[in-house]
Amino acid sequence: MTPAVHARDLVIRYGDFVALDRATFDLAYGESLGVVGPNGSGKSTLLKAIAGLVPAADGELHVLGVDPRRVEPGSIAYVPQVESVDWTFPATVWDVVSMGRFPRLRFWHGFGVADRAAVQRALDLVKMGSLARRHIAELSGGQQQRVFVARALAQEPKLLLLDEPTTGVDAATEYALREVVRDLVNRGLPVIMATHDLDTVEQWFDRLMVLDRRLLAIGTPRDVVASGAYASIREHTHVHGHLRLDHEPHETHALHPEIHP
C-alpha cells in the first residue's frame, strides 16, 4: 500500500538556513509517529511541510499519494502549538470547531445537518460538548487544546498532524487526548505528532523519530529510547522531564469569522 507520507532526502530551508536536512521516512496508514528533538530541530517545520504550508527546497515529499500542495482540501488536519494561536478572537467553542468544516464546504452549499453532526461528534470525542457556547478566551489551556483538536477532528481528515498538543495541559487532558488519538489510529488514521514529553512516548506512538535538523533515529519507541541518539538528545536538552520548546519560525494562526449552528 502507498504510504500516507513518503519523504526521501527532504530538505526545507528558511532563506539560507537549513531547517531540515535530507530526512527520509515513511508513515503508514493506521500508524502514529512521534517526533522528538531539541530547540530548532525542525519538528514544526516538518509538520508544516507535510501540511503544504512550507515548500520543499529539495528531495521528495508525497502526502496521501501526491504533492502536499495538491492534496484534496480537508484531507490534512494540522493542529499548531496553542501558543501560536490568537485566542482573543471573538468566537465560541462551537464557532472554532465549526471552522474545521470549512475545507469540506462547497461554495454553493451552506453549513448543513451533516456538518453540524460532525462538529458535535468532535466535541463529544474531546468531552467539550457542555462548553460549546463558552467563549474560547474563558477556557483553560487544556480546554483550549481540546477545542483545537476537536476542530481538526470535525474536518474528518485522512491525515492528522499534531504540534505539541500536550504542552501545558493537565494529566487528565493528556490522557483524554491520547485515548482519542489511539482510537483514531486503530481505525486506520495516520498521525504524526511532535512532542517534548519523553515519559509517555511508548503509550502514544507506534514509532518514534529523533530529529535534530537531520533524522538521527527512527524505530519503535523502545528501540529508539535505548539508542545513543535519543540518549544524547535527552542528556543535552532535558529539563524537568521535557525537552525545551522550539523557537522555529512560525506565524500566529488567526481564527476565522463566526459560524453559528
**pLDDT over threshold 80, residue 140:** yes
Spans of all domains in the chain: 5-243
pLDDT reported for residue 226: 84
Max CA separation in the chain (angstroms): 56
Average pLDDT value for the chain: 85
Q: What percent of the chain has pLDDT over 90?
A: 57
Compute the distance between CA of residue 234 and CA of residue 38 in angstroms, rounded to an integer. 8
Q: Look at 9-23, 73-87, 206-220 and tell me which has the smallest mean pLDDT.
A: 73-87
Where are the strands (E) in 28-181, listed by range?
Answer: 32-36, 58-63, 76-79, 159-163
pLDDT of residue 80: 87
Average pLDDT estimate for 139-148: 88
Q: Which of 85, 86, 92 is nearest to 260 (CA)?
A: 92
Gap between the terminal Cα atoms of the chain? 39
Distance (Å, whole) CA 87 – CA 51: 22
Q: Tell me the mean pLDDT in the region 190-208.
A: 91
User: Which residues make beta-bridge pairs with 35?
Assistant: 194, 209
Within 10 A of 39 (CB to CB), how many other CB atoms are there?
Answer: 13
pLDDT reported for residue 85: 65
Which residues on neighbouring strands pair with residue 253, listed in sequence order? 85
What average pLDDT does range 61-70 have in this prediction? 95
Give tens-digit pLDDT for 99-109: 998 887 766 66
Domain 5-243, classified CATH 3.30.70.20, yes or no: no
pLDDT at 159 over 90: yes
Q: Is pLDDT at 215 greater than 80 in this prediction?
A: yes
Nearest to residue 148, comparing CAs of 114, 115, 182, 125?
125
